[in-house]
C-alpha cells in the first residue's frame, strides 16, 4: 500500500465510531422523502463544523464543496441519499436506536449512506492537500418518492454550473458481507414505473351478483392477465417485471362495491420496453372491462431510468476498491437487478458508477431485504465504504 492509501485506511478506522454514532442518530430520527428538514440541518451542521463550504439548492438536501490542495480542473461528485421510508420497523438488533418517529423508518440504508459520506468528508478534509481539484458532496433528498430528488437536482442545473465531471454513488446490500463491494459496467439497475388502475363496476347485494358488475372479480382477471404480458408478449431475453403491490375494494361481507383499485410497479431496462408494457396493460384493461360491462381509468407514471454504469468510471472504482481489499472481496456481477434508483438521472448528465457495499451478516441480523421492517446493516461496513468513497476523490 502507498503512504496515502495507508492514511485513508487509518482515517476510516479513526472515524468509524463517529459514523456509527451518526448513523444511529439518523436512524432514530428518520424523515420521509422531501420532508428531511431536521436531517438536512444536521448534515449542514456536521459539514460546517469541519470547514466545508455548503449550499442548499433545494428545500431539503444539501451540497458540500471541498477545494483540494492540488491545482486541477478535476471536479468529482460523491452522492448519498438521505430520506427514510413511510413505514414502521421492528427488530431486536436495532432496539437501542430504533425509529422514534411513527410512520418513518430507515429500512432502506439511507442513514448508512449519509453517515458514510460524512465519514468520507472528514477523511477528505484531513487529507485535503492530496485532493486534485474539487470534491462535490451530494446529500440528496427524496430518492424513495417520484419524481426523485436526483431528477430535480439535475434538472436545476446546479451540478452542471459547478462543473461536475463524473459522479459515484453506493447502496448498502444485505446479500454481500461487510468488506465486500459489488459492481458491473453497463446496465446495473432497472428503470421504474408506478401505475394506478381503477375498475369502475356497479355495486349491489352480494346475494344477487347478476344485478351488479363486480369490480373485484374484474380486478382479479386483470391481475392474472397482466402477468401474461411479460411471459407472452415480450421477447424472453428482455428482462421485465409487473407487480401489483396493493388492491383495495369493498367495505363489508355482503356488498359488491362500485370500484376496485390497484397500484403497482413495472421494471425494465429501457423506457421503450416499459412503454410497450403500458400499451399491453391498457389493452388488457380495455378488453377485460368491456367484456364485463365495466369501465376503468389507468395512469402510468414513468419514474426512474435504468442505472447504467460508465465503463471508465467503473474502471476507476475498481482501481480504488482494489487498493483496500483482495480481489475476492470485489464481486463482479454477471446480471443487473430489477430494483431502481434515481442515481440514474445523474448518469444521464455525467459519466458515473453506482456500486453495492456489503452490509449483511448473521451476527448483526442484517441479511433482511431492503424495505423489510427488520432491515439493518452491519456497521463494520463503514470501514470499507468510507475508505472507498474517499479514495475515489483522492485517486484518478
Q: Give the residue among 318, 329, 274 at the shortest CA–CA distance from 300.
A: 274
Sign of CA dihedral 325, 327, 329, 335: positive
* DSSP per residue, 260-322: EEEEEEEEESSHHHHHHHHHHHHHHHHHHHHHHT-EEEEEEEE----EEE-HHHHHHHHHHHH
Structure confidence by residue, pLDDT tens digits, 249-302: 999 999 999 999 999 999 999 999 999 999 999 999 999 999 999 999 999 999
CA distance 367 to 283: 40
Are the C-beta atoms of residues 103 and 86 closer than 8 Å to each other? yes
User: Is residue 382's pLDDT more than 90?
Assistant: yes
pLDDT band at 324 (very low <50, low <70, confident <90, very high): confident
pLDDT band at 1 (very low <50, low <70, confident <90, very high): low
Sign of CA dihedral 214, 220, 223, 227: negative
Query: Could you list the active site residues?
Result: 83, 143
CA distance 74 to 69: 12
pTM for the predicted model, two decimal places: 0.92
Q: What is the CA radius of gyration of the chain?
A: 23
Are the C-beta atoms of residues 51 and 69 closer than 8 Å to each other? no
Question: How many other CB atoms are found less than 10 A from the CB of residue 248?
Answer: 12
Start and end residues for every CATH 3.30.70.360 domain found in the chain? 191-302
Mean pLDDT (the chain) is 97
Structure confidence by residue, pLDDT tens digits, 333-342: 999 999 999 9
Which architecture characterizes domain 3-188+307-394 according to CATH?
3-Layer(aba) Sandwich (3.40)
Q: What is the CATH number of domain 191-302?
A: 3.30.70.360
Start and end residues for every CATH 3.40.630.10 domain found in the chain? 3-188+307-394
Amino acid at each position: 500500500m502507498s503512504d496515502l492509501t495507508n492514511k485513508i485506511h487509518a482515517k476510516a478506522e479513526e472515524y468509524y465510531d463517529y459514523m456509527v454514532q451518526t448513523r444511529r442518530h439518523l436512524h432514530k430520527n428518520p424523515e420521509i422523502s422531501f420532508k428531511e428538514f431536521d436531517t438536512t440541518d444536521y448534515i449542514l451542521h456536521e459539514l460546517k463544523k469541519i470547514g466545508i463550504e455548503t449550499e442548499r439548492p433545494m428545500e431539503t438536501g444539501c451540497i458540500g464543496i471541498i477545494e483540494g490542495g492540488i491545482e486541477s480542473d478535476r471536479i468529482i461528485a460523491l452522492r448519498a441519499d438521505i430520506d427514510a421510508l413511510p413505514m414502521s420497523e421492528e427488530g431486536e438488533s436495532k432496539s437501542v436506536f430504533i425509529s422514534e418517529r411513527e410512520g418513518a423508518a430507515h429500512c432502506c440504508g439511507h442513514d448508512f449512506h449519509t453517515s458514510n459520506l460524512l465519514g468520507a468528508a472528514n477523511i477528505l478534509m484531513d487529507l485535503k492537500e492530496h485532493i486534485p481539484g474539487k470534491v462535490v458532496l451530494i446529500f440528496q433528498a427524496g430518492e424513495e418518492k417520484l419524481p426523485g430528488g436526483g431528477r430535480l437536482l439535475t434538472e436545476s442545473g446546479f451540478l452542471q454550473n459547478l462543473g461536475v465531471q463524473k459522479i459515484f454513488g453506493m447502496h448498502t446490500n444485505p446479500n454481500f458481507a461487510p468488506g465486500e463491494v459489488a459492481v458491473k459496467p453497463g446496465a446495473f439497475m432497472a428503470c421504474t414505473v408506478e401505475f394506478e388502475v381503477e375498475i369502475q363496476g356497479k355495486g349491489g347485494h352480494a346475494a344477487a351478483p347478476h344485478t351488479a358488475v363486480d369490480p373485484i372479480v374484474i380486478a382479479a382477471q386483470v391481475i392474472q392477465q397482466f402477468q401474461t404480458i411479460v411471459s407472452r408478449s415480450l421477447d424472453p431475453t428482455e428482462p421485465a417485471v409487473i407487480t401489483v403491490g396493493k388492491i383495495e375494494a369493498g367495505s363489508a361481507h355482503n356488498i359488491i362495491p362500485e370500484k376496485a383499485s390497484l397500484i403497482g410497479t413495472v421494471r425494465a431496462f429501457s423506457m421503450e420496453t416499459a412503454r410497450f408494457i403500458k400499451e399491453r396493460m391498457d389493452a388488457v384493461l380495455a378488453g377485460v372491462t368491456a367484456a364485463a360491462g365495466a369501465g376503468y381509468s389507468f395512469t402510468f407514471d414513468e419514474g426512474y431510468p435504468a442505472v447504467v454504469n460508465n465503463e471508465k468510471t467503473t474502471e476507476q472504482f475498481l482501481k480504488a476498491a482494489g487498493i483496500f481489499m483482495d480481489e475476492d472481496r470485489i464481486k463482479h456481477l454477471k446480471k443487473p437487478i430489477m430494483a431502481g434508483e434515481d442515481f440514474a438521472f445523474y448518469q444521464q448528465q455525467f459519466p458515473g458508477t453506482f456500486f453495492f457495499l456489503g452490509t449483511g451478516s448473521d451476527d448483526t441480523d442484517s441479511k433482511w431485504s431492503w424495505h423489510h421492517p427488520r432491515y439493518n446493516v452491519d456497521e463494520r461496513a463503514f470501514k470499507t465504504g468510507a475508505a472507498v468513497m474517499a479514495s475515489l476523490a483522492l485517486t484518478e
